[in-house]
Amino acid sequence: MKTKVLIDSLSLLSPLTGIGRYTYEISKRLQTEDDLEINFFYGYYSPKLLEPSLKSGIKSLRSLLIQNQYVKKVVRKILFTSSRLFAPSYDIYWQPNFIPNKNIKSKKIITAVHDFSFILYKDFHPKERIEYLEKNFYSNITRSDIIITGSQFTKQEIIDRLHIKANKIRVIYHGIDHSLFRVHDNLKLDYILPKKFIFSVGSIEPRKNLIGLLKAYQLLDENLKKEYKLVLAGFKGWQNKEIMEIINNNKDTIHYLGHISDKELAKTYNLASIFVYPSFYEGFGIPPLEAMACGTPVIASNRSSIPEVCGDAILYVDPDDTSDITNKIKTLIADENLQKVLVDKGLKKAKEYSWDKSTQAHLKIIKELFS
């Protein structure tokens, strides 16, 4: 008899971010397991995994509605209420996004907790999200039989903050798509890029510390800025007024691409002179690994999980120290030998992370709970 597994896939109905990517990559691979019967919850139950790029009516509608925080509350209430109607029962319920739905019927619950930025950096999130997490996270997380997280750093945070026993917490590193994020030849893009450029990717929001990067870039010598432009990619996010003003006032040296496809992202990593990721806080941090896999030297924050994930394959900066970011950019640009060392180490380090390996670790937990 097959093990019946339900995966909460609401994150696939919004523009794809880290949690959505994680949900999709693991779900896609779990679907190939013959002894699992996989279903997905999108506000309704379905055996079909939606492609992240699918522009279905419900996706378009929900993406439009959630722009308003008051409407978002109503939409969320409807979606959770619908999980109660005609709800089947499952052996395993996997919630990849912090809060298990109390209306879903399941014998065992696996929940992924990615970080605690909603506690540590409340200003980095929309008010509605903070209110929702504070109201529902603590009261529901203890229902989980197993908690999955992406780093030893976050595991320790879970132990310290939630007082959950260590044997209930499993660290499973995320992966990257090596068929896409690799060294490419003969690249052709749908847009024009500068010949030399510093690249950064991530939602245009406070947590990614783009203000720090923009200010650090502005401190570079004028001649260096003329030679190396700054290129940014990612959704506009929120609380981004100051960031967008700086971008719009410096269009001769700063290029904002907006959201780009994974294919274009991989190509852009390949063409970048260096990649800079000065994030204040990450539960894992996929972009530095993607850049490393594409043969690009990386500068990233020395905070949270990033040193654990990237090891000695990147150059570290203090995200609170603008001058440190500036100096490390200058150092890396000027030192071709250091660039080569980081590229070689980065390519090797990135090979340690794959979605196949991550899926097998998830599958092991499912079998352990239902053996």
Are domains 3-175+354-369 and 197-350 of this chain identical in fold? yes
pLDDT of residue 56: 42
Q: What's the pLDDT at 140?
A: 94
H-state helical runs in 196-316: 210-218, 222-227, 241-249, 262-271, 286-293, 306-310
What pLDDT, in 10s, does the model give residues 275-301? 999 999 999 999 999 999 999 999 999
Specify the pLDDT at position 15. Answer: 72
Residues of the chain with pLDDT under 50: 54-68
What pLDDT score does 370 carry? 83
* Assigned superfamily of 197-350: Glycogen Phosphorylase B; (3.40.50.2000)
Neighbours of 201 (CB within 10 A): 24
pTM of the model: 0.90
Q: What is the pLDDT of residue 255?
A: 96
pLDDT, residue 77, reads 60
Q: What per-residue confidence (pLDDT) applies to 241?
A: 79
Q: What is the pLDDT of residue 330?
A: 98
Segments making up each domain of the chain, as ranges: 3-175+354-369, 197-350
- b or e along 274-294 (b: 16 or more beta carbons within 10 Å of the residue's beta carbon)? bbbbbbbbbbbbbbbbbbbbb
Picking from 62, 63, 266, the residue whose alpha carbon sits closest to that of residue 176 is 266
| DSSP string for residues in 116-146 | -HHHHTGGGS-HHHHHHHHHHHHHHHTT-SE
User: Which CATH entry fits the domain spanning 3-175+354-369: 3.40.640.10, 3.30.540.10, 3.30.1550.10, 3.40.50.2000?
Assistant: 3.40.50.2000
Angstrom distance (rounded) from CA 240 to CA 223: 28
